[in-house]
Structure 1
Amino acid sequence: MTEDLRERIGRAEAFAAFRMPFDNEFTVVMQRGIGAFVSDSVAELAGRRGFVMVPFSLGRKWPVVMVRPDDVVRTHVPDAWGESMLSSGLCSDSGRKVYEQAFEAFHGAVSCGEFDKLVLSRHCERHLEGGNLLDSFIKACHMYPRMMVYLCRTAEGGVWFGCTPEILLSGRRSHYSTVALAGTMSVPESDTRTVEWSTKNVEEQRIVADYIRQKLHGYADVIEEEGPYTSRAGHLIHLKTVFHFTPAKTGFIPSLVEELYPTPAVCGLPKEKAKRFIEENEGYDRGYYAGIVGMLDETGDTELYVNLRCARIDGRVAHLYAGGGILPTSELEQEWTETEEKLKTIGNVFR
């Protein structure tokens, strides 16, 4: 990354840098003047263009915020990077007791039939030393070629950094896609195409796929499905179904996003009831974790992702986030281990 680009980013009122999967270039969107678009409604994004961040819980502490593309640069991902920010150590287990208590509540709620599925997440802190986040971003681009990597700074939302594998909505004109991504395992030593998935993982992904299929029918003329199949994301694998569709009308993006989000992959079913349960019982505010991040352009390319494997950077402290689906067959130790593995995705960038 050139010094000139670094200086321009530093002068910007707000910026977002992002690299799409399998791309050897990244894009920087910079806002020169004050007055970023801020709202508590996804619907108000209609007709607007820019890099958007939507929180998991609308109407609370965190607003919908959009970085206006006053200045856009697209450039090659450098082969080398400077000093990345480093962590002084692993996340502590201080949150284990809180997680255990939350797991009991979540597992009880799905086991008694109140919910088909719930997603329980947690967060932890890492203290950072030295380095520069822009270099951490370049490092992440090399570490995770299959993921969308982003770094975003706004006055309203703070600094967020992530490497997410999950598309919420991608496409342009008459060709769009979304995915149902759920179920998690570590990458096996054998061929991932022959991996055997547990009943719990298969059911978890089926719930998400059924939900997305149902929501798309009101917005699409043609829907084609691909999967489910095993998809790699860093050192983890997931079950994935891709839905390709032709929109039934123009101007559909904000309303479809409202229908899809938050999907059962990060929330639960029934959606609104599950969302309230999470807000009341998870024990912390997710912020933009499990929300939406990416470029919105109704007349061009839209690339919106679910904000997973991410961190909020507050000075020299990184707040890391991860979660997993809870079903009646879920077991505490397995779910805790899954979140530990997911935390490593963004955490390993700081090693």
Structure 2
Amino acid sequence: MTDLFLKVKVHQGQNLPFVIYSKPGSDEIIGLFQVNDHVYLAESFSETGFIMAPFDGENYVLIPEEHSEIITEKYELPAIPEEGAVSQDYDETAKKDFEQLVEKGVAAIHAGHFKKVVLSRKEKIGGTTKDVEHLFPRLLANYPTAFKYCFYHPKVGMWMGATPEQLLKVKDYQLQTVALAGTQLYEDTEKVHWEPKE
């Protein structure tokens, strides 16, 4: 176990907040380990640290740098398979179930029930939600081009995930947002026309 994951285990054992994350294509994991269990909220977005923003837009929970120990650790990036190479390490039943779901989706489109459909599946993995030192390296290996994170606050909860979509970009002190599915260009009007997919 590395120093960073040892720190994760100790912090969880002491019910102290932390976040670890790795940027797309990076070989570094950055950890912010809060020194108390206070729930800090981002108010002006001038704070430095890591913000976990819920969908409801109510409270933006902040793990502030000024109240955290920061640890950075390098890890070895996994080899990217040659183009066309497919891992044979998959559940054959889950694969067949998903293929049947795709067939049903295509049939529903042909029958006129949908114009488009986005299919997803739930993946169950072994271990417990507290087994960060085993689960997070799997995110690093499986999603090298995504933003990977594990956020924990004993009074708020734990989230671990990987997002392949770039949400924000900063270049020369300029912040740019990136359009995601279901977004549209800002127009200075109170009447917004939303398409069904948005």
For Structure 1 versus Structure 2, the TM-score category normalised by the shorter chain is 0.5 to 0.7
| 1:25 corresponds to which of 23, 28, 32 | 28
Q: Which has the higher contact order (CA 8 A, sep 6+)?
A: 1
Letter aligned with residue 75 of structure 1: E
| Partner residue in 2 for 1:54 | 53
What is the CA-CA distance between 1:168 and the residue it aligns to?
Answer: 2.2
What is the CA-CA distance between 1:14 and the residue it aligns to?
Answer: 0.9
| Partner residue in 1 for 2:127 | 129
Q: Does 1:74 find its partner at 2:72?
A: yes
| 1:64 corresponds to which of 60, 63, 74 | 60
| Partner residue in 1 for 2:109 | none
What is the CA-CA distance between 1:51 and the residue it aligns to?
Answer: 0.8
What is the CA-CA distance between 1:121 and the residue it aligns to?
Answer: 9.1
What is the CA-CA distance between 1:270 and the residue it aligns to?
Answer: 5.4
| Partner residue in 2 for 1:16 | 19
Runs of 5+ unmatched residues, structure 2: 79-90, 106-112
Cα distance change of structure 1 residues 124 and 34 upon mapping to structure 2, 3 Å threshold: same
What is the CA-CA distance between 1:142 and the residue it aligns to?
Answer: 2.2
Cα distance change of structure 1 residues 121 and 158 upon mapping to structure 2, 3 Å threshold: farther
Runs of 5+ unmatched residues, structure 1: 81-86, 101-107, 112-118, 183-206, 218-268, 275-324, 328-351
So what's the TM-score if we normalise by structure 2?
0.62
Cα distance change of structure 1 residues 166 and 64 upon mapping to structure 2, 3 Å threshold: same
What is the CA-CA distance between 1:120 and the residue it aligns to?
Answer: 8.3
Tell which structure's C-alpha radius of gyration is larger.
2
Q: Which runs of at least 4 in structure 1 moved beyond 6 Å after TM superposition? A: 119-123
What is the CA-CA distance between 1:153 and the residue it aligns to?
Answer: 0.9
1:101-150 CA-to-partner distances (Å, cap 9, x unmatched) read xxxxxxx9xx9xxxxxxx98988573633793223212221222211111
Cα distance change of structure 1 residues 142 and 126 upon mapping to structure 2, 3 Å threshold: closer
In 2, Cα distance between the equivalents of 1:52 and 1:166? 17
Letter aligned with residue 178 of structure 2: V
So what's the TM-score if we normalise by structure 1?
0.38
Where do 1:152-163 residues align within 5 Å?
152-163=151-162
What is the CA-CA distance between 1:165 and the residue it aligns to?
Answer: 1.7
Letter aligned with residue 128 of structure 1: G
In 1, Cα distance between the equivalents of 2:63 and 2:120? 27
Cα distance change of structure 1 residues 170 and 79 upon mapping to structure 2, 3 Å threshold: closer
1:326 counterpart SS class = coil
| Partner residue in 2 for 1:248 | none
- Asked if structure 2 preserves the Cα contact closer than 8 Å seen for 1:20 and 1:148, the reply is yes
Letter aligned with residue 25 of structure 1: E
| Partner residue in 2 for 1:171 | 170
Q: Does 1:150 find its partner at 2:141?
A: no
In 2, Cα distance between the equivalents of 1:128 and 1:141? 17
- Asked if structure 2 preserves the Cα contact closer than 8 Å seen for 1:77 and 1:141, the reply is no
2:179 counterpart SS class = strand
Identity %: 21
Cα distance change of structure 1 residues 127 and 138 upon mapping to structure 2, 3 Å threshold: closer
- Asked if structure 1 preserves the Cα contact closer than 8 Å seen for 2:4 and 2:73, the reply is no
Letter aligned with residue 73 of structure 2: T
Where do 1:292-307 residues align within 5 Å?
none
- Asked if structure 1 preserves the Cα contact closer than 8 Å seen for 2:169 and 2:177, the reply is yes
In 2, Cα distance between the equivalents of 1:170 and 1:55? 20
Cα distance change of structure 1 residues 46 and 178 upon mapping to structure 2, 3 Å threshold: closer
1:327-350 CA-to-partner distances (Å, cap 9, x unmatched) read 7xxxxxxxxxxxxxxxxxxxxxxx
1:214-257 CA-to-partner distances (Å, cap 9, x unmatched) read 36x9xxxxxxxxxxxxxxxxxxxxxxxxxxxxxxxxxxxxxxxx
Letter aligned with residue 29 of structure 1: L
In 2, Cα distance between the equivalents of 1:174 and 1:53? 22
Letter aligned with residue 62 of structure 2: M
1:265-306 CA-to-partner distances (Å, cap 9, x unmatched) read xxxx657xx9xxxxxxxxxxxxxxxxxxxxxxxxxxxxxxxx
- How many residues of Structure 1 are paired with residues of Structure 2 in the alignment? 164
When you count helix as a share of all residues, which structure comes out higher? 1
